[in-house]
Structure 1
Amino acid sequence: MSLMRRRIAAFGPFTPSPILALRDMDVSSTKTSEADPASTIAPYATGLMGVNQPVNMIFKDSLWWSLGILALIVLSVRLLEIGWSKLRHVSAMSRTADEQGYWKMSQWSWMPTLKKHLVYAPFWRKRHNREIRLSSALNIGTLPSRLHSVILALYLLSNIIYMFYLDWSQPNGYALAAEIRGRSGTLAVVNMVPLIILAGRNNPLIPLLKVSFDTYNLLHRWMGRMVVLEALIHTIAWLYVQVAAAGWSSVSEKMIHESFIASGFGGTIALVILFFLSLSPVRHAFYETFLNVHIILAFIIFLTTLIHCASASIPGGLPQLPYMIAIFLLWFFERLARMFRLAYNNWSSRRGFTEAEIEALPGDCSRVTMHLPRYLDVAPGTHAYIRFMGINSWENHPFSIAWVEHHPDDPDRTLETEKSHSNAALHNGTTSVSFIIGAQTGFTRQLFDRASRAGTSSIRVRAAMEGPYAGHHSLDSYGHAVLFAGSTGITHQLSYLKPLIQGFNDGTIATRRITLIWVMRDTEALEWVRPWMDEVLRMPRRREVLNIRLFVTRPKNSKEIVSGSNTVQMFPGRPSISTIMQREVEQQVGAMAVTVCGPGALADDVRQAVRQVQSIDNVVDFIEESFTW
């Protein structure tokens, strides 16, 4: 603490605050002040009396700089990774499998240890993405990874230090309360800036840092909790002084007649309500309702805080007013970006609006194909938010994109006959984007039920798609790709197959071996992707690069378990993930990427298996696709 005080003193000379001035009062003036409550209490209930604003600004800069430095560190790491993968891609794409040995070996002896014990490590043992359930109805969420835990701990600890670095020797408790009020209010608003940035789907940090929205959502939740705590401290500190100065009746009077106090109380109440609604058991039990209420309450919080900062008796409003204006602009432009993407993707003056074709499939799943009225470039591994007219139209949910087809403007021209004309025709044509959506509760169940009522035929409804998002994990530079899928997680992995095989045929990627492991409950799941998988299996040279292993955990009949060929094999029961990984490492080609999309238990098993095979003798990178909520 003494070191921090010396650093703050070195920040530069500033006018002593009323707190410091109070120390210089002589004994007689102190006695007079104690005899007059108006002079020792009331001045500290409003304005900046007792607020140590210079120190508040130092901590504001410290908080933003710490987050900015963290972003710069991640950006530097990402730039190095991108440069390294580009070098690997260019040098390996013309090499055979046997000639990629250099990229198979780790070039830094410390990297496997770092991956095993920090980057890929769960917070405790092996559990990370598997939900923690108190009962069949109560879910309290997931555990963060070890790296996420370190980042969160540093963030929370810094806020606690900034919050409670106060002049505890202050003889006037009401002056100390004013200092606490100023510090907590400043930190609450300062934390709202990164809070709103990380909440947006169009967060520019996602493509820049190549960090998933899932990670930002984790940080967003913890930042929100810190804002609630600081806002509560801010309100309680004011109440303590105000009640001591004029009683509880003055509180209600100020709330009725002063917009400054009313807006502050309103914002705090909205924050507390939002906090209790966002608790994991409540959020998971009523998630769709929570989403809509969350947006409404967030708007109320930003609006009341803006009014609170602008309506202060201080000329020009509170010093935090510019931050609130920035927050409102960030929130507004992010919403505007969503509206623009919706309008651009789903409407064309020539072709009208997007239509969705919905088909009910065995296993309580819906196959949805969105026929967009324009061309849209969709990378593998992306997801999109979709909504349907007449099926909870106000709701939109993220789903992995399974398949993409581009339809040329002139269908008579083909890539084989007139490639240049066909490329132009494709970009002037339309795009169809397909999803597999498992029926759970709420929106997804209503979607399946509506399609089921149509019998064997599909239904068409007007719809809208926002996206695509993510897709920043390219597998093109890896000689070996292992794709794990559980149930409907096949949608994410399927999106990689066609581009990888096509790239292998064209000689434009380094991949020489692809292994797809799909864990399903019964063989009915094969119907979900049959038309797309048939197209993949008919691709030229597919047998040279692709191996598929299907594991049916609950087969209805043993005769269903039939292996079509050596490259497409089917097994009963659950797979041994560690055994599969050991076998793949023994046959590894160049650098290996292991991706997983599926239930939390499967993702945790794959993560554990990847950690076990980390060694100086191989390069194995792990990529997890998840939507934690």
Structure 2
Amino acid sequence: MAATQTTHAAAASTTVTTPTPGPISDYDTGLGGVNQAQNMLFKDMLWWSLGIVALTILCLRMAEISWSHLRLVTTMSRPASSQTYWQKAQWSHMPWVKKQLTYAPIGSKRHNREIRFSSALNIGTLPTRLQTVLLSAYGFSNMVYMFFLNYSQPDHWALLAELRGRSGTLAAVNMIPLLIFATRNNPLIHLLRISFDTYNLLHRWLGRIVVFESVVHTLAWMIVQINDGGWASVGYKVVHDRFIGSGMVGTTTFIILVVISLSPLRHAFYETFLTTHILLALVIFICVWVHCATSAIVGGLPQLPWVIAVVLLWMAERLYRVGLQAYRSWSHNGLSNAVVEPMPGDCSRVTIHLPRFVDVQPGAHAYLRFADISPFECHPFSIAWVKHTPLGGSLLPMAETEKSPSKISGPLTGFNASRQGHLLQTSVSFVIGAQTGFTRKLYNRAVEACGDHSTSASFKALFEGPYAGHHSLDSYGHAVLVAGATGITHQISYLRRLIEGYADGTVATRRITLVWVVRDYEALEWVRPWMDEVMRMPQRHEILQVRIFVTRPNRQFQAAQLGSSSSRTIQLHSGRPNIPVLLRKEVSEQAGAMCVTVCGPGALADDVRAAVREVLDEGTVVDFVEESFTW
């Protein structure tokens, strides 16, 4: 009997101490039911995971730079026959890592070739295998953090409140890297030597994660609110409560933004998308700021400092762009002049004369804005050619400028140009293919302006950059440069650097093969002035071979092909190149470490990537660099 009474007393005691569910209104706003300690823990874990990945890549880049510098100093004064040590991989597993991870697409081949269901429907490109692993790991960690909740608690309204707090915290945390990845002045580009195109891919996927977390955050609140006061209470709070209203507008704007960012819509109306995307992002920043600042909690939600940091970073980067454009392009004479020459094949050759010196590295690109054509549009283009001339002097060809008497001694290239930059002004040249939108307007305006039989037109333009240019080929004994159509602009910038370096004994390069695929023979006119200068460079015939493939040959091509058959440097071929055969031939004649770079249509880039992965089985050092602007 006593034992029975004791058992009943214990049961009664247990019943009394069990927490009873509170009113629903305790969990539809504020921090009621929110596990803030865990929220901050997962915030730290997310930031630490991003930091550890960045630090790992930084260490790898520093080791890579050191290794390249060691390779350069030990080979730049040696012939090709003395670079065999650098031809073979020093770490036997590296070729496998490159083939199966860093250079590998998700499947067998397709990466940068756009997935098209029709001429009007394009759903974009696929990430690489390494990008997929990193994105999947980060997305999975977000899902684990968001749904790591206390499912044992008896009150499911408290569980929803915990989910609301967790998802809102994660969305706010992810907004910081989301913004950093979207900025082209992202300092991580230079530190980690990762292209802006890769960061843009990360930005798109991180944006989808943020939108998903924001929607979960809103739904978790809405379910509790509906059960507390019905749909009428939801509508009332959205209209009369700034805290709830700003959050609802922000989430709705997020959904609209992700819908218009879908690849078919983005590609079909890119100019409209770009402007709308910026405006909607601004609305979201304002709404999230108001949402965090107007909470009933004294001092606002704990996420408010992060939101303020995001807004300030966004404003600072935009102001920096404006300042950079003004500094590069503005002088007492006004905006820079851009000379635009319409070329065969619906292309424009553009040369912008900047009022001051700009140090441009090979492989760099810049953003152009034409005040007379599309003042609100700014697009990236690879820089093909650079000239430095004395301030106030005439814009003469480089050969004449170097002979002209001035305060400047030595050639106006490389180190001398950088050292004497305060005495120089720079001209940069591009080749811009006319597609749709801005590029088509530029070409049409140039054709109209040249209707009086003049060879060029002049427009006012803004220059923003240069960006990228962090891939140096100086330490490679063998460089294979593959270009498709206007992709030649990226590759021709390396030709000049490597040939000059070979003559000066400052690079390791002993063999350069340029492969250029064009549709028509007339396309050679795009780069004729620059190729003429390349062909006049001393000792270029010792290291340079040019293979031009014309996919639609005509009679003019056939006549030129007869002349090229006896040339040691330039050879013309009809049809498309067999990339695997070409690359295997280059590997069989490899001089030291080899770098293969490609800039052109996605299908060509995928062919080159696949060919590089094939030759990696031979254990040679073949690095691959792809230059692309996916959007």
Q: TM-score, normalised by structure 2?
A: 0.92
8 Å contact 1:482–1:515 — kept in the other structure?
yes
Are positions 1:122 and 2:105 aligned together? yes
Structure 2 SS opposite 1:548:
strand
> Which residue is equivalent to 1:195?
178
> Which residue is equivalent to 1:567?
569
> Which residue is equivalent to 1:474?
472
8 Å contact 2:541–2:568 — kept in the other structure?
no
Q: Aligned letter for 1:582?
A: R
Task: Tell me how far apart the structure 2 counterparts of residues 128 and 121 of structure 1 sit (CA, whole Å).
Answer: 9
Structure 1 SS opposite 2:199:
helix
Task: Tell me how far apart the structure 2 counterparts of residues 61 and 155 of structure 1 sit (CA, whole Å).
Answer: 14
> Which residue is equivalent to 2:443?
448
Q: What displacement does 1:134 show?
A: 1.2
Task: Tell me how far apart the structure 2 counterparts of residues 592 and 550 of structure 1 sit (CA, whole Å).
Answer: 21
Structure 2 SS opposite 1:352:
coil
Structure 2: runs of 5 or more not aligned = 1-11, 395-399
Q: Aligned letter for 1:385?
A: Y
Are positions 1:338 and 2:333 aligned together? no
Task: Tell me how far apart the structure 2 counterparts of residues 433 and 582 of structure 1 sit (CA, whole Å).
Answer: 35
> Which residue is equivalent to 1:600?
602
What do residues 181-213 of structure 1 show as CA deviations (whole Å, max 9, x unaligned)? Answer: 000000000000110111100000000000000
Q: What displacement does 1:430 show?
A: 1.3
Candidates 347, 352, 364, aligned match of 1:365: 347
Task: Tell me how far apart the structure 2 counterparts of residues 304 and 130 of structure 1 sit (CA, whole Å).
Answer: 38
Are positions 1:589 and 2:587 aligned together? no
Task: Tell me how far apart the structure 1 counterparts of residues 13 and 377 of structure 2 sit (CA, whole Å).
Answer: 62
Task: Tell me how far apart the structure 2 counterparts of residues 582 and 616 of structure 1 sit (CA, whole Å).
Answer: 10
Task: Tell me how far apart the structure 2 counterparts of residues 410 and 446 of structure 1 sit (CA, whole Å).
Answer: 32
> Which residue is equivalent to 2:285?
302
Task: Tell me how far apart the structure 2 counterparts of residues 326 and 361 of structure 1 sit (CA, whole Å).
Answer: 47
> Which residue is equivalent to 2:483?
485
> Which residue is equivalent to 2:5?
none
Structure 1 SS opposite 2:117:
coil
8 Å contact 1:523–1:560 — kept in the other structure?
no
Structure 1 SS opposite 2:616:
coil
Are positions 1:246 and 2:241 aligned together? no
Task: Tell me how far apart the structure 2 counterparts of residues 299 and 617 of structure 1 sit (CA, whole Å).
Answer: 51
Q: Aligned letter for 2:590?
A: Q
> Which residue is equivalent to 1:437?
432
Are positions 1:287 and 2:287 aligned together? no
8 Å contact 1:345–1:372 — kept in the other structure?
yes
Q: What displacement does 1:414 show?
A: 5.4
Q: What displacement does 1:390 show?
A: 2.5
Candidates 141, 162, 180, aligned match of 2:145: 162
> Which residue is equivalent to 1:273?
256
Q: What displacement does 1:30 show?
A: 7.9
Inter-CA distance 172–25: structure 2 relative to 1 (3 Å threshold): farther
Q: What displacement does 1:419 show?
A: 5.1
Structure 2 SS opposite 1:516:
strand
Task: Tell me how far apart the structure 2 counterparts of residues 542 and 410 of structure 1 sit (CA, whole Å).
Answer: 32
Task: Tell me how far apart the structure 2 counterparts of residues 194 and 393 of structure 1 sit (CA, whole Å).
Answer: 29
Structure 2 SS opposite 1:214:
helix
> Which residue is equivalent to 1:141?
124
Task: Tell me how far apart the structure 2 counterparts of residues 275 and 579 of structure 1 sit (CA, whole Å).
Answer: 43
Structure 2 SS opposite 1:141:
coil
Q: What displacement does 1:617 show?
A: 4.1
Task: Tell me how far apart the structure 2 counterparts of residues 414 and 386 of structure 1 sit (CA, whole Å).
Answer: 26
Are positions 1:381 and 2:346 aligned together? no
Structure 1: runs of 5 or more not aligned = 1-23
Q: What displacement does 1:352 show?
A: 3.3
What do residues 235-267 of structure 1 show as CA deviations (whole Å, max 9, x unaligned)? Answer: 000000111111111111112211101110111
> Which residue is equivalent to 1:220?
203
8 Å contact 2:135–2:202 — kept in the other structure?
yes
8 Å contact 2:356–2:391 — kept in the other structure?
no
Task: Tell me how far apart the structure 2 counterparts of residues 68 and 338 of structure 1 sit (CA, whole Å).
Answer: 26
Q: Which moved more, 1:424-433 or 1:487-496?
A: 424-433
> Which residue is equivalent to 1:56?
39
Inter-CA distance 146–25: structure 2 relative to 1 (3 Å threshold): farther
Q: Aligned letter for 2:388?
A: H
Structure 1 SS opposite 2:345:
coil
Q: Aligned letter for 1:102?
A: Y
Q: Aligned letter for 2:231?
A: W
Are positions 1:541 and 2:539 aligned together? yes
8 Å contact 1:562–1:569 — kept in the other structure?
no
Task: Tell me how far apart the structure 1 counterparts of residues 23 and 592 of structure 2 sit (CA, whole Å).
Answer: 74
Where in structure 1 do 4 or more consecutive aligned residues deviate above 6 Å? 28-31
Q: Which moved more, 1:340-349 or 1:175-184?
A: 340-349
8 Å contact 1:410–1:425 — kept in the other structure?
no
Task: Tell me how far apart the structure 1 counterparts of residues 409 and 435 of structure 2 sit (CA, whole Å).
Answer: 45
Q: Aligned letter for 1:140?
A: I
8 Å contact 2:408–2:420 — kept in the other structure?
no
Task: Tell me how far apart the structure 1 counterparts of residues 151 and 629 of structure 2 sit (CA, whole Å).
Answer: 44
Task: Tell me how far apart the structure 1 counterparts of residues 172 and 45 of structure 2 sit (CA, whole Å).
Answer: 14
> Which residue is equivalent to 2:385?
403
Task: Tell me how far apart the structure 2 counterparts of residues 368 and 25 of structure 1 sit (CA, whole Å).
Answer: 85
Are positions 1:131 and 2:114 aligned together? yes
Q: How does 1:61-210 map to 2 (within 5 A)?
A: 61-210=44-193
Are positions 1:609 and 2:611 aligned together? yes
Are positions 1:520 and 2:518 aligned together? yes
> Which residue is equivalent to 1:9?
none
Task: Tell me how far apart the structure 1 counterparts of residues 368 and 620 of structure 2 sit (CA, whole Å).
Answer: 40
Task: Tell me how far apart the structure 2 counterparts of residues 560 and 272 of structure 1 sit (CA, whole Å).
Answer: 56
Inter-CA distance 80–426: structure 2 relative to 1 (3 Å threshold): closer
8 Å contact 1:109–1:616 — kept in the other structure?
no
Task: Tell me how far apart the structure 1 counterparts of residues 617 and 472 of structure 2 sit (CA, whole Å).
Answer: 23
8 Å contact 1:381–1:496 — kept in the other structure?
yes
Structure 2 SS opposite 1:551:
strand
Q: What displacement does 1:167 show?
A: 1.2
Q: What displacement does 1:611 show?
A: 0.5
8 Å contact 2:339–2:351 — kept in the other structure?
yes
Inter-CA distance 242–316: structure 2 relative to 1 (3 Å threshold): same
> Which residue is equivalent to 1:10?
none
Task: Tell me how far apart the structure 1 counterparts of residues 292 and 298 of structure 2 sit (CA, whole Å).
Answer: 11
Q: TM-score, normalised by structure 1?
A: 0.93
Structure 2 SS opposite 1:461:
strand
Task: Tell me how far apart the structure 2 counterparts of residues 280 and 25 of structure 1 sit (CA, whole Å).
Answer: 61
Structure 2 SS opposite 1:404:
strand
> Which residue is equivalent to 2:307?
324
Superposition RMSD in Å:
1.8
8 Å contact 1:479–1:592 — kept in the other structure?
yes
What do residues 123-164 of structure 1 show as CA deviations (whole Å, max 9, x unaligned)? Answer: 111110000011110101111101101101100110010011
Candidates 219, 222, 229, aligned match of 2:212: 229
8 Å contact 2:371–2:460 — kept in the other structure?
yes
Structure 2 SS opposite 1:561:
helix
> Which residue is equivalent to 2:527?
529
Q: What displacement does 1:408 show?
A: 1.1
Structure 2 SS opposite 1:260:
helix
Task: Tell me how far apart the structure 2 counterparts of residues 139 and 530 of structure 1 sit (CA, whole Å).
Answer: 34
Candidates 313, 336, 346, aligned match of 1:354: 336
Task: Tell me how far apart the structure 1 counterparts of residues 238 and 561 of structure 2 sit (CA, whole Å).
Answer: 71
Structure 1 SS opposite 2:184:
coil
